[in-house]
Amino acid sequence: DAGITQSPRHKVTETGTPVTLRCHQTENHRYMYWYRQDPGHGLRLIHYSYGVKDTDKGEVSDGYSVSRSKTEDFLLTLESATSSQTSVYFCAIASVSTSTDTQYFGPGTRLTVL
């Protein structure tokens, strides 16, 4: 998985609780992304980062925040989890945003919000 790990790999939590997912890379890539994957919707971008402390919103950012204090770590936080955030979350990395490179994905985190 191109030097990408995600933790935890599985989590069950209750509505209203805060949840933080971690993405860690050993590739020193500049760009990092958080996606969620749901049946019928494919992969949808939540937030992305183009450098330390530089982040921007994606297609489905409501209810999520991110932080990137180090090149290797990108955190996704659900401030108050809701059942609609039950999903599989994937982190991806890229060395450049265009040209000959593209995104490589982590193994995913399966989140269930009860």
Stretch that binds another protein, among 22-30, 62-70, 79-87, 104-112 (CB under 8 A): 104-112
Stretch that binds another protein, among 14-22, 67-75, 78-86, 95-103 (CB under 8 A): 95-103
Which residues from 30-49 bind another protein, rule CB under 8 A? 33, 35, 40-45
Q: Residue 110 Cβ, how far from another protein at the closest point, in Å?
A: 8
How many residues belong to the site for another protein (CB under 8 A)? Answer: 21
CB-based contact 106:23 (threshold 8 Å): yes
Which residues does 42 contact at the CB level (< 8 Å), separation at least 6?
none
Q: The tokens 């969620």 sit on which residue? A: 36
CA 82 to chain centre: 17
Residue number, 51 or 107, with CB nearest to another protein: 107
- Pairing state between β 73-78 and 64-70: antiparallel
